[in-house]
Structure 1
Amino acid sequence: MTGIDLANGIVGAVLGIIFAILFQQPLQEAWFRVRRRSATAVRSLTYRQDDASLSTWSTFSIGPLHTSALIVEGDGEQAIAPEAVRVQVLDAEVALPEEMAPWRAEIEAAEAQVEASGTRVRVWNGPRYAVEGLEFSRTALDEQATVRLRLRPTDYFTFLAAQQLDRRLPDGTTPRGRYLDPDHPLDAPAFLQCSFGVNVAVVTADHLLVVSRRADNVRSGPGLWGSSVNEGLSRHIDSAGRNAPDLYEVARRGMREELSLEPHEYTLTMLAFVLDVERRQWSAHFTAHLTGLTGDALRTRISRGVADRWEHQSVEYVPFRPADVMRHLLRPDRVRRWAPVTPALFHLALVHTHGRGAVERAEAQAVRRLRQGRDHNAR
């Protein structure tokens, strides 16, 4: 080894020591930060995937029939007793946010113009209820469902304004994007939930399910096939004096107004609470079994006049057996023409009468036949 090589080796060793002292610790810390951030990102991604796979908030569907109805409480097998439901009406009326208030003013002005021009009948701004909150629990001994429904006063024009969930606000957002979280569907401000109604699946004494089609001139779901009876809560009608509305009484009012049926002519059972997550409309689901009237007798009754005939343009009678109802729900000309909460209503009513096992077998068989038919046509 020459003197030059020795000198170069000494200089290299000295520079290596200096480099290690100055840069080794920062490099190690930077590498540690990169590893930690990567691990955190992987854990975050894994958590989100696991969280999504474990979500119980799935809307009701049967094969190709997909709805926006979320069954929040009730499985059809166990009834919800009248005394288990507590309804509370709060004092303060619902107010739209400042940026949505002009939408309501537009609706009010448009209806005033309609009345002045006489082009059609003006929409009545009826007093309604908005859902402030809906809470569910179980009794300690027998684990029966208990429900607490909190309502606030509102009106129909506020409801129509709040239904514009995908309309752009001044900042470019929408009410759906700003105020609603799809991962927490039960969390929503009251001004976006200005609708609560009842839906009833009516079964005649000779075991026929009554299926109605909504009129083309109604504002909500025109032309769609729906429940036997559909009725919204009205502050004017359903709250006598200062009493809170009784959901069973609302259902009985709907039975009387839409089918001319009196309480002594049927048994009424509450099955579930359901939320249409797309439109933010709540519903209590009931089934009613007529004790004496057959399908023919009910047809005759309806032909003699009903109070709200204008709401429905036609009525069908389907054998109330799981296989028949499933075929009816999945008919190619019908599968996309159902009101959002109706398939879930008919499913729950079937479960209540025939049991979950029989209903799920019929649903699976109906879907399997549809797929076999498509495969056969494809060949």
Structure 2
Amino acid sequence: MSGIDLVNGTVGALLGILCTTLLQQPLQDAWSRFRRRSATRVRSLTYRQGDSGAASWSTFAIGPLQTPALVVEGDGVHGIAPETVRVQVLEGEVALPEDMVPWRAEIEAEECAAHSAGTRVRAWNGPRYAVEGLEISRTALEEDADVTLRLRPTDYFTFLAAQQLDRRLPDGTTPRERYLDPDRPLEAPAFLQCSFGVNVAVVTADHLLVVSRRSDSVRSGPGLWGSSVNEGLSRHIDSAGRGAPDLHEVARRGMREELSLEPHEYGLTLLAFVLDVGRRQWSAHFAAHLRELTGDALRSRVSHGVADRWEHQGMEYVPFRPADVVDLLLRPDRLHRWAPVTPALFHLALVHTHGRGAVERAEARAVRRTR
């Protein structure tokens, strides 16, 4: 071997070692990301195509407690960062199909007649948002949730008309039968999804969960037990023509209006996006932990007056421990009196604080006791 060959061989070996050192980790990372994304894609295809015609996802349940809440994104373990959530408002209001337009006209006429007769307060046809779509991907490096929520303008009477999912149309079908595929629950026309709200699980400084009961006078879920705070997106309040709503700000508005709490008094974490597949209502689930206010202090605060007292007719304070909260959820007199997405909210809030293992063990023990 000549001197030149020896030098070339040595340089080649050194370059090979250098390339291996520099490229090995990036290649491993890229391969790992590819495998994760491929697995996610396979799960997505499985969900869409189903197994023997059945969807692979199921709605939230704890033993005998069955709900129509589909947890679309979020597991409670990790919060969803505000900067990874984008809200877009598309142009053009939602339009009902021609054969559903008379339903909206009926609602408007009924509200006018009831107001004229003095039988009840007329419902205000407030400007709302309909959900055009919710797109979820992952950030490039950390694989965190990356969410885009697309909304369209609508109003309250359109929402009420679209809630009649099982009413017969002139051809004998129902909106649920005509427009919804039970094996593709994330796919629906915007006019059937005229509701997006936030639900907050509030935990006091002395570790009590606030559980509220909805007023009998509200249109949606009267008398049901629900989240600490529930607030729907309003075009009039949350955007006022200036841009897209901020979900965290909507949650803060609910905290202020329903519990008289200001942002500096709590920490707020977005836990999940959830769909009530029965009523086609979307929700962003939050947990709020009060920094200093105890249960007694919050009771006193609320007793001095809150802006939206009319929305609730009762409030309870439950120890924020897995066993206590799960026992409350499965209580025989409450089993069928929960607002559809509330059990999933409380489960996710428990997981965020106590860990998935502790919560699932408490749920398993509680379910065994019900058998």
Fold equivalence (TM over 0.5): yes
Partner of 1:100, secondary structure, is helix
Q: Match for residue 242 of structure 1?
A: 242
Q: Does 1:322 align with 2:313?
A: no
Provide Cα deviations, 1:298-343, integer angstroms capped at 9, x if missing partner. Answer: 0000000000000000000000000010100000111110000000
In 2: Cα distance, 1:288 partner to 1:143 partner? 25
For structure 2, the residue ranges without an aligned partner over 5 or more in a row are 1-48
Letter in 2 for 1:50: D
Letter in 2 for 1:176: R
In 2: Cα distance, 1:309 partner to 1:98 partner? 38
Partner of 2:88, secondary structure, is strand
In 2: Cα distance, 1:104 partner to 1:364 partner? 45
In 1: Cα distance, 2:231 partner to 2:281 partner? 12
User: Is the contact between residue 275 and residue 282 of structure 2 (CA under 8 Å) also seen in structure 1?
Assistant: yes
Q: 1:96 to 1:302 in 2, by over 3 A?
A: same
In 2: Cα distance, 1:52 partner to 1:98 partner? 31
Partner of 1:316, secondary structure, is strand
In 1: Cα distance, 2:240 partner to 2:113 partner? 33
Q: Does 1:231 align with 2:243?
A: no
Q: Match for residue 163 of structure 2?
A: 163
In 2: Cα distance, 1:127 partner to 1:198 partner? 17
In 2: Cα distance, 1:172 partner to 1:49 partner? 28
Q: Who wins on radius of gyration, i.e. which is larger? A: 1
Provide Cα deviations, 1:47-71, integer angstroms capped at 9, x if missing partner. Answer: x883456x33200000100000000
Q: Match for residue 13 of structure 1?
A: none
Q: Match for residue 109 of structure 1?
A: 109
Which deviates further from its counterpart, 112-121 or 127-136? 112-121
Which deviates further from its counterpart, 237-246 or 143-152? 237-246
In 2: Cα distance, 1:145 partner to 1:132 partner? 19
In 1: Cα distance, 2:111 partner to 2:318 partner? 39
For structure 1, the residue ranges without an aligned partner over 5 or more in a row are 1-47, 372-379
Letter in 2 for 1:190: A
Q: Does 1:347 align with 2:355?
A: no
Deviation at 1:243, TM superposition (A): 1.2
Q: Match for residue 121 of structure 2?
A: 121
Deviation at 1:112, TM superposition (A): 1.1
Q: 1:213 to 1:293 in 2, by over 3 A?
A: same
List aligned pairs for 1:66-215, cutoff 5 A: 66-215=66-215
Deviation at 1:116, TM superposition (A): 1.5
List aligned pairs for 1:213-362, cutoff 5 A: 213-362=213-362
Provide Cα deviations, 1:251-294, integer angstroms capped at 9, x if missing partner. Answer: 00000000000000000000000000000000000000000000
Which deviates further from its counterpart, 112-121 or 342-351? 112-121
In 1: Cα distance, 2:317 partner to 2:201 partner? 12
- Percent of paired sites with the same residue: 82
In 1: Cα distance, 2:166 partner to 2:66 partner? 20
Q: Match for residue 363 of structure 2?
A: 363
Partner of 1:302, secondary structure, is helix
Query: Which of structure 1's runs of 4+ aligned residues deviate more than 6 A?
Result: none
Deviation at 1:242, TM superposition (A): 2.2
In 2: Cα distance, 1:220 partner to 1:240 partner? 24
Q: Match for residue 37 of structure 2?
A: none
Partner of 2:51, secondary structure, is helix
Q: Match for residue 42 of structure 1?
A: none
Partner of 1:99, secondary structure, is helix
User: Is the contact between residue 50 and residue 183 of structure 2 (CA under 8 Å) also seen in structure 1?
Assistant: no
In 2: Cα distance, 1:115 partner to 1:240 partner? 27
Provide Cα deviations, 1:226-259, integer angstroms capped at 9, x if missing partner. Answer: 0000000000000044210000000000000000
Provide Cα deviations, 1:62-101, integer angstroms capped at 9, x if missing partner. Answer: 0100000000000000111111110000110000000000
Partner of 1:299, secondary structure, is helix
In 1: Cα distance, 2:92 partner to 2:167 partner? 26
Q: 1:205 to 1:182 in 2, by over 3 A?
A: same
Partner of 2:109, secondary structure, is helix
Partner of 1:87, secondary structure, is strand
Partner of 2:151, secondary structure, is strand
Which deviates further from its counterpart, 116-125 or 193-202? 116-125
Letter in 2 for 1:169: L
Letter in 2 for 1:335: L
In 1: Cα distance, 2:358 partner to 2:106 partner? 51
Letter in 2 for 1:133: G
Partner of 2:99, secondary structure, is coil
Superposition RMSD in Å: 1.0
User: Is the contact between residue 235 and residue 241 of structure 2 (CA under 8 Å) also seen in structure 1?
Assistant: no
Partner of 1:271, secondary structure, is strand
In 2: Cα distance, 1:90 partner to 1:57 partner? 29
Letter in 2 for 1:89: V
Letter in 1 for 2:261: L
User: Is the contact between residue 137 and residue 145 of structure 2 (CA under 8 Å) also seen in structure 1?
Assistant: yes
TM-score, normalised with respect to structure 2: 0.86
In 2: Cα distance, 1:321 partner to 1:129 partner? 36
In 2: Cα distance, 1:346 partner to 1:52 partner? 31
